[in-house]
Amino acid sequence: MPDVKVLAGTNKKPASKASKYFIFMTEGFLIFLPQSLLTKGWNRPSLVKLHWLLQVLGFCCIALGLIAVVTIKIIKGNPHFSFPHSITGLVAIIMAACTGIGGYVSRLKPHPKGPSLAQIKLGHVFFGMASYVVGVAALVLGYFTSYFGKLVDYEWRLFIAVITVLVSTVAFVNASVGFYRRAKNLFNF
């Protein structure tokens, strides 16, 4: 029987942080969909601010989860970053931080000798998509760690993994369409 507190996200363990990360980061992509009920009728600057807020919240959740796990491993004397899930998660956090910095830079006036604002925004979208994919991969790998194995059985973990992949595919396809439009306008193809 699965632990309802874990599935509902009400416990204070790293699994709860991971679920919040997934929700915030995915919704940060989905708000740009024209069919989004949450932001229907919002203007572009408001959408960008909400996107920024959701991405920062998602990043904070996953960073707090990482800090909690590393602290627990230090206390117990266990090795860190020794499994595919932890290595992929660390890469996702580094990529997300770089993407956030790129998002901040895209709000600044570009240097005349540097890349154009359109190029910076295209890079931000690309690295945002890449870090999202790596983050989702880390999340799915996390479902099959011994930690999750103690909480829920294999069938539940497989079900959660499939749902995660399906939802993230919708968000990724939406972001890919936006990336394609930006690249098409930038490179005139």
Q: Read off the DSSP letter of residue 34.
A: T
Q: Is 39 exposed, middle or buried (0-12, 13-18, 19+ CB in 10 A)?
A: middle
Residue 4 and residue 152: Cα distance in Å, rounded? 9
CA angle 39, 43, 49 (to 5 degrees): 75
What is the pLDDT at residue 31? 84
* Cβ within 8 Å of residue 151, ≥6 positions away: 2, 3, 6, 15
pTM, two decimal places: 0.82
Mutual orientation of helices 14-30 and 154-187 as an angle, nearest 10°? 30
- Report pLDDT for 162: 95
Letter string b/e over residues 70-89, b meaning 16 or more CB atoms within 10 A of that residue's CB: eeeeeeeeeeeeeeebbebb
Distance in angstroms (rounded) separating the CA atoms of residues 149 and 6: 12
Q: What's the confidence (pLDDT) of residue 69? A: 86
Question: Do 185 and 118 touch, CB atoms closer than 8 A?
Answer: yes
What is the residue-level pLDDT of the chain in tens, covering all 189 positions?
Answer: 344 344 334 444 556 667 777 888 888 878 887 778 888 889 989 998 999 999 999 899 888 888 988 898 899 998 888 889 999 999 999 999 999 998 888 888 777 788 888 888 899 999 999 999 999 999 999 999 888 888 889 999 999 999 999 999 988 998 898 899 889 988 887
